[in-house]
Amino acid sequence: MEKVIFIFGSTGVGKSKMAIKLAQKYNGEIISSDSVQIYRGFDIGSAKITTKEMEGVKHYNIDICNSADYFSVSDFVDITRKEIEEIFKHGKIPIVVGGTGLYVSALLGGYNFGGTNRNEDYRKGLEKEIENYGLYYVYKKLENLDANLAKKIDKNNKVRVIRALEIAKFGKEQTKSSPPYDFKIFALTLPREQLYEKVEARVDIMLQQGLVKEVETLLAKGVKKSCQPMTAIGYKETVKYIEGEITLSELVDEIKKNTRHYAKRQLTYLRGLAKTYNVSEINVEDFVLAQKSIEKEIKEWL
Domain with CATH 1.10.20 in the chain: 115-173
Query: Per CATH, is 115-173 categorized as 3.40.50?
Result: no
The confidence score (pLDDT) of residue 180 equals 82
39-82: per-residue pLDDT in tens?
999 999 999 999 999 999 999 999 999 998 888 887 888 899 99
**CATH entry 3.40.50.300 includes domain 1-114+180-209+262-302:** yes
Give long-range contacts, CB 8 A cutoff, 24+ apart: 138-143: 138/162, 138/165, 141/165, 142/168
Q: What is the 3-state secondary structure (H, E, C) of the chain?
A: CCEEEEEEECCCCCHHHHHHHHHHHHCEEEEECCCCCCECCCCCCCCCCCHHHHCCCCEECCCCECCCCCCCHHHHHHHHHHHHHHHHHCCCEEEEEECCHHHHHHHCCCCCCCCCCCCHHHHHHHHHHHHHHCHHHHHHHHHHHCHHHHHCCCCCCHHHHHHHHHHHHHCCCCCCCCCCCEEEEEEEECCHHHHHHHHHHHHHHHHHHCHHHHHHHHHHCCCCCCCCHHHCCCHHHHHHHHCCCCCHHHHHHHHHHHHHHHHHHHHHHHHHHHHHCCEEEEECCCHHHHHHHHHHHHHHHC
Residue 9 φ then ψ, to 5°: 165, 170
Using 50, 70 and 90 to split pLDDT, how confident is the model at 115? low
Neighbour count for residue 74 (Cβ, 10 Å): 17
pTM score of the predicted model: 0.81
Higher pLDDT: 131 or 148? It is 131
List pLDDT tens digits, range 147-180: 877 887 778 888 888 888 888 887 655 555 678 8
Residues forming CATH 1.10.287.890 domain(s) in the chain: 210-259
Outline which parts of the chain fall under CATH 3.40.50.300: 1-114+180-209+262-302
User: What is 210-259's CATH number, 1.10.287.890, 3.40.228.10, 3.40.1180.10, 3.50.50.60?
Assistant: 1.10.287.890
